Each structure stands twice: as C-alpha cells, then as structure tokens.
Amino acid sequence: MTPAQASTEPALAAEHLSRRFRGVTAVADVSLRVPAGARFGIIGPNGAGKTTLFNLLSGELRPSAGRVALFGRDVTRLRPYHRAALGLGRTFQVTRVFSDLTVLENLTLALHGLHRSKLSLFRPWRSYRGLTAEAAEFAGRFGLASRLSAVAAELSHGEVRELEVLLALALKPRVLLLDEPAAGLSPAERVDIQALLAALPPELTLVMIEHDIDLLRTVVDSAAVLHLGALVVQGPIREIQDDERVRELYLGRGAA
Amino acid sequence: MTSRSGASPRLLLRRLAAARRAAATGSADRTPTPGRGGPPPLGAERRSGGSGGSPPRTNTARDLLTLHVMQRSRRFLGPAAGLLTALLLVLLLQGNGFVSTLVVDMLVYAIVAMALDFLGGYAGLISLGQAGFLGVGAYGVAIAEVHFFSPWAAVGIALAVTLGLGLALGIVAVRVKGVSFVIITLAMGQVLWGLSYQWVGLSEGDNGITVSVLPTIGPIDLNDPLTLRMTVLVVFALVALLLVTFTKSPFGLSLRGVRSNEARLAALGYRTGLHRYLAWIIAVFFTGVAGVLYVFVNQLISPTTMDFSANGLFVIMAVLGGLGSIWGPALGAVVIVLFQQELSIYVSRWQTLMGLTLIAVVLLSPGGFWGLLRAAGRRWDAAIARRQRDLETAP
C-alpha cells in the first residue's frame, strides 16, 4: 500500500490505528497516508467505523493501538485543542454549533481560537473589529450574512450545517476533516456546499466522510473504503467506484 | 445592548428635513401611513393627488421624532437606571439605622451571588459550596488578626488563602461538570463548614471569632460605620463592573461556549479545562472578597454563616435573579435578604413564601427577574425595528 517513502511527510497519517470498545473493534488496524493538498474521501456502510476513525484522528478518542501523525509529527497523545492548534480542523456528523449563541458569536469564538486573545478579560469581544469583520465575511461565504444576529438554535437545518463548516474553516486549518457535511441537506444547499468545498485553497488537505458518491466524486480525487472497521480498498476515486468489493458493500451481494 | 444602533441622529435630522421639504412642495401623494386599516375607497385616493398631502407628512415627522426618542431612551435607560440605583444606595447608606444595615447585607451577599453566576450562568458550573469560600475569606481575616497580624495584613492573608485554596481545590473541582460539579462543590463547602465547626483551636468552634478592630489607612478608617458602608458599596461596584467586563470579553464568550458545547470549543483550539479553571478561580476569589467584607460588617464569623442552607440560598439568589446576567443575581440577593430579614419579622413561614416565589419565577420566567427585563428590552428593540422599517418603506 505504501510504495516508496514519499519525499515529503504526508499531511495526515494513521499507522495501524485500532480502537476497541469493550471487545467490539470499531477501527481495526487502519493505515492511511494523506499527502498535503490532497482531497481524500472515506466511504463505507453505516457502522463501518468512519466516525470513530475521525475521532481518533482529531483526538476525541485515544486509540487502543497505533499512532496518528500530523505533518510528520506524532500527535497520538495530544488532546483535541492541541491538534487544532497544529492546524487540524473538523466538523461533526451530529452537528455541533453553539446553539444558544448568535451566528456572529459562533464565528467570533472560532476566530479567537488560535489567538491569545481568547484569554483576554478586559476588552469587549465586539471591539476586536478585525475579527468581527472577518466573522461577517465568513458568514457571507454561505448565505448567513443576513443572519449574523440570529441565535444558532433558530437557524434551519441547512444553515446550521453551513455554520458548522464555517466554524471549522474559521480555524484556518491545514487539514480539514469533514464528517458528512451534506447530510440532510436540500439539493440547493448541496450545491452551495459543493461550491464552497471547490473554492477551498488548494494547499488545504481535505478528508471527508460522505455517503453520496456523486457528491464525493466532484470533490475528492482519492478515497478509502472502510468496512467493519477495516480498510477494504484505497485508491483513486475512479477505481473505487468501479471496484467489485465496493459495489458489493453498498448494493449487497449478487447485485453486481 | 445589542449591536443595533439604529439610524444616527444626523441621518434622522436629514430625513426630517427631507420630509419637511417634501411636505412643503407637496410633491408626493403616495404616503401609505402604516396601521391605517384597510385600503381607502379608490376614488378618494385619486382625488387627493397633488392638492393637500400635508397631514400624512407631519405624521411622518412626528414618527421620526418618536423613533429617535425610543432609540435614545433604549440606549440610555440602562446607564440611567444604574446611576439612579447607585445614588439611591449612597443615600440609603447614610443613616445608621436598620435600613443601611439591610443594604450592606444585600451588597455583601450580592457579591457572592454574582460570583456564583459568573461560574454558573456563563461556564455552566453551578457551585453549591460558595458559602464555604465566603467563610474562608471571613475566617482568614479573623484568625489572622486575632492570632498574628495587623488588620491590613489580615486582609491580604485572607485573600491569599482564599486564592490558594481556590487554585488547589479547582484542580479537583474543574475535572467534572454538571451534577458531579454540584456535588463536589457541595462536599467542599461541607468540609470547610466542618473544619470551622471542629477545628476549635483555630476557629473557636461554635462560638465563632469576633473581630473588633478593623483596618485603617490614612483617612479611610473602617472602624467608622459610614466609611465601612461606603467601602462595601465601592467594592461591590468594582466587583460587579469587573465581572460584567469579563463576561463581555473574549474569555466571557469562551465560557458561554464551554457551557453550550465544550467538545466543539476544544476542536476550535480552546483548552477548555483551563477556561473553566480560570472562571472557578475568579468566582472563588471574589467570594473570598465578600467574606472579608462580611466579617468587617458583622464583626463576627461563626460556622452558621457557611452551613448548608447558606449554600442553597446563594444558588436561589442567582436563579431567582436570573443566571447569566451578573446584575440579575445581585437583584436576587436584594430580594432574598428582604425575605430573610424583613418578611421574617411579619411572617413566620417566610421560607414557604420564598419557595413559592422561586417556583413561580422559575415557571413563569426561566431567566429570572432579569429575564423579564431582557424580554422587555427585546420587545422594545422589535418595536424600534418595526417603526424604522415602516418609515423606510414610506419615504
């Protein structure tokens, strides 16, 4: 799977990563190398361990075995906030925004994340004009510019998912993990998110869980297929699509 | 308090002038004054064109003025109310009678309630051991002064001990959240109460410690009752303004983020444990400050000050006043002290009344007293926005 050692370190690497929950192996010996600037997809049926793998990569969970490296640096023991500071951003499958804060407060909070100003006590957060203007600019990337003072709990499902992606982007990550960003979105909102993903800077490394192969195909260039926690196949998206085993997983035995 | 600043006065004046000009020339005939019921009969509308369109015009001018007044009053009502309250407090504290004693008690308890709110209403960590730290501040002064030092040194020692204890206990307390945090702070409060009760060598047990000599520095002599009362007021104002400033800072925003969704905040690069720890230390320290004032005001500290019901009372103050508002819990302290010290004179079952009040407030206004004020403010904002929209659609 790993031919020759690449000259540059991969942006994100997992080595023999495993996680067991009381005897159930959710992720089994997964090894991945995502080069910098790649657009990488992770697919697999429900319960394949995709989200657990994400949680291991972002530090929400500690692996039972194996290691995680970010730009060649071993981050296996580092907590989520520390990995975020090293440039690893993520979204969550079950949307996690600050639901009792406004859109502006959500985005401002995200923008302060990497600055020492997040511990500042005496200056009102609204007086950080640069950051609040940037927050408004971020909101404008989706149709959220007019919703800045809306409390996140009042947003529509689609808007919340968009806010979730914006929060991760506000961190200005070098590696971005997206956990089903288009889940439950309307076709129009899907187009929005597709456009946003297409407009991401090319040097950003993107790893994305997505069920919708059609959407995935427009964003990623290679992908890995997980089944029962193990890596079944990995390669360019074109090959994955036509792979016999993948068809079997998704369509059931005999359908191919 | 929201970002809605509305149209600037200059802009309003310009619009007012434009409206007058338009009225003078009588150029426009389409002035759909909002809220005039259904459409007028067609013929009447047609005939009025060009001739005398002035009545709706003056209406618009008056509307602009009303809007302006509404916006101004919205902006200045808060500060004005604050100033009036401050003035009232200064006046009430002049006398040596019962009222000033009552007000001083309110102010001291309000500091504790506000500190509790900073931790509970913002970071979502409700502490049921706050009376314990009040006791640490108070006993710190009493013990240091009786056994070893000058009054001023005693104050420094008391605050240092509270801070140190907060730093140490925080390492344990901040590891947990939700109900576990409530229980662990309750346990801490009870341990501190137990120490005050049983460590007789230091605390003189049941009898408590009396403090008769208060600190003096230059013209400020706390042994003078009026100076002491004013000092309490100043310290209260300082703590309140500091806490309000903190809640509006990026750190305050991060605490609301901690309460709302801690995992999300961590994924954004926040070391959330550190933020909770700092909030805890701030709350414990200010509670200790209240403890110092408490012992000066009462000149006595005994275990009953920090018993279980005192802890509960502080939480009730915060909830009644409205968590997450700082000023609300101060208001809660005022109400509870009134219940405890005034109502109890006339009604023997004042605690029943307090319980019923609490139930009513929690059911009718989950944001407490302050929640009612906030709702009124929001309605006002909405009214302003509606008027503004109406005026913009009818130029």
Give me the tens of pLDDT residue by residue for chain B, a chain 395 residues long: 334 444 455 565 566 566 566 555 544 444 444 444 444 444 444 444 444 444 455 567 788 888 888 888 888 888 899 999 999 999 999 988 889 999 999 999 999 999 999 999 999 999 999 999 999 999 999 999 887 778 888 899 999 999 999 999 999 999 998 899 999 999 999 999 999 888 887 888 888 888 887 888 777 888 888 999 999 999 999 999 999 999 999 999 999 999 999 999 999 999 999 999 999 999 999 999 999 999 999 998 989 899 899 999 999 999 999 999 999 999 999 999 999 888 888 888 888 888 899 899 888 888 899 999 989 988 988 888 888 888 877 65
d(CA B215, CA B292): 11
Tokens of A243: 């792979």
Q: How close B324 comes to chain A (CA, Å)? A: 12
Residue B290 burial (C-beta neighbours within 10 Å; 0-12, 13-18, 19+): buried
Contacts of A128 in chain B (CB under 8 A): 250
d(CA B197, CA B191): 10
User: How many residues make up chain B in this entry?
Assistant: 395
Nearest CA in chain A to B241: A122
Tokens of B275: 């933020």
Tokens of A187: 């076709």
Q: How close A121 comes to chain B (CA, Å)? A: 5
Strands A39-43 and A65-70 come out as unpaired
CB contact under 8 A, B252 and A92: no
Q: What is the mean pLDDT of residues A224-240?
A: 87
Give residues with Cβ within 8 angstroms of B112, minimum separation 6.
B130, B131, B134, B286, B287, B290, B314, B317, B333
Give residues with Cβ within 8 angstroms of B85, minimum separation 6.
none
Strands A12-21 and A65-70 come out as antiparallel
CB contact under 8 A, A119 and B261: no
Q: How close A77 comes to chain B (CA, Å)? A: 15
Of A148-152, A206-210, A239-243, B238-242, give the range with the top mean pLDDT: B238-242
Closest CA to B67 of B395, B394, B380, B393: B380
Contacts of B264 in chain A (CB under 8 A): 92, 96-98, 167
pLDDT at A141: 83
d(CA B260, CA A182): 23
CB contact under 8 A, A121 and B271: no
Contacts of A149 in chain B (CB under 8 A): 2-4
Closest CA to A102 of A53, A153, A174, A62: A153
CB contact under 8 A, B251 and A118: yes
Query: Hey, is the C-beta of A110 within 8 angstroms of any chain B C-beta?
Result: yes
A199-214: pLDDT as tens digits:
888 889 999 998 877 7
pLDDT at B86: 92
A154-181: pLDDT as tens digits:
998 888 988 999 999 998 999 999 998 8
Residue B166 burial (C-beta neighbours within 10 Å; 0-12, 13-18, 19+): buried
d(CA A21, CA A19): 7
pLDDT at A108: 94
pLDDT at B353: 87
Nearest CA in chain A to B262: A98
What percentage of chain A exceeds 70 in pLDDT?
A: 95
**3-state SS, one letter per residue, for A54-116:** HHHHHCCCCCCEEEEEECCEECCCCCHHHHHHCCEEECCCCCCCCCCCEHHHHHHHHHHCCCH
Q: What is the DSSP letter of A151?
A: B
pLDDT at B11: 60
Nearest CA in chain B to A117: B250
Q: How close A6 comes to chain B (CA, Å)? A: 29
Which of A97, A113, A124 is facing B249, going by the closest CB pair? Answer: A124
Which of B245, B260, B269 is facing A81, going by the closest CB pair? Answer: B269
Q: How close A106 comes to chain B (CA, Å)? A: 8
Q: How close A102 comes to chain B (CA, Å)? A: 11
pLDDT at A255: 42
d(CA A27, CA A68): 13
Q: How many CB pairs under 8 A join A and B?
A: 108
Q: How many CB atoms lie within 10 A of CB A256?
A: 12
CB contact under 8 A, A171 and B252: no
Which residues on neighbouring strands pair with residue A19, listed in sequence order? A27
Domain ranges for chain B = 95-306
Contacts of A120 in chain B (CB under 8 A): 249-251
Phi, then psi, of B222 in degrees rounded to 5: -70, -10
Q: Could you tell me if B59 and B33 are in contact, meaning their C-beta atoms sit under 8 angstroms apart?
A: yes
Chain B residues whose C-beta is within 8 A of a chain A C-beta are 2-4, 245-246, 248-254, 256-257, 260-261, 263-272, 274-275, 278
Q: Measured in Å, how far apart are chain A's first and last C-alpha atoms?
A: 26
DSSP string over B268-311: TT--HHHHHHHHHHHHHHHHHHHHHHHHHHHSEE-GGGGSHHHH
Helix (H) or strand (E) holding B373: helix B368-393
d(CA B255, CA B305): 30
CB contact under 8 A, B246 and A121: yes
Tokens of B255: 């605490």
Residue A78 burial (C-beta neighbours within 10 Å; 0-12, 13-18, 19+): middle
d(CA A38, CA A41): 10
Which of A90, A105, A126 is facing B267, going by the closest CB pair? Answer: A90
Largest Cα–Cα separation, chain A: 66
pLDDT at B163: 97
Backbone Cα Rg of chain B: 27
pLDDT at B181: 94
Torsion on CA atoms A31, A37, A41, A47, rounded to nearest 10: 50
The more confident residue out of A249 and B338 is: B338
> How do the residues of chain B divide into helix, strand and coil, expressed in percent and rounded to 5?
75, 0, 20
Phi, then psi, of A17 in degrees rounded to 5: -80, 130
Query: Hey, is the C-beta of A247 within 8 angstroms of any chain B C-beta?
Result: no
Query: Hey, is the C-beta of A42 within 8 angstroms of any chain B C-beta?
Result: no
Which residues on neighbouring strands pair with residue B209, listed in sequence order? B301
Q: Could you tell me if B267 and B260 are in contact, meaning their C-beta atoms sit under 8 angstroms apart?
A: no
Q: Could you tell me if B187 and B301 are in contact, meaning their C-beta atoms sit under 8 angstroms apart?
A: no
Question: CB pairs under 8 A, 24+ apart, for B184-190?
Answer: B185/B126, B185/B127, B185/B128, B185/B129, B185/B130, B186/B128, B186/B129, B186/B311, B187/B129, B188/B129, B188/B132, B189/B128, B189/B129, B189/B130, B189/B131, B189/B132, B189/B133, B189/B306, B189/B308, B189/B311, B190/B129, B190/B132, B190/B308
DSSP string over B222-239: TTSHHHHHHHHHHHHHHH
Query: Hey, is the C-beta of A134 within 8 angstroms of any chain B C-beta?
Result: no
d(CA B160, CA A251): 68
Q: Measured in Å, how far apart are chain B's first and last C-alpha atoms?
A: 28
Interface test with A, best of B175, B245, B264 (most A CBs within 10 A): B264
Q: Could you tell me if A30 and A9 are in contact, meaning their C-beta atoms sit under 8 angstroms apart?
A: no
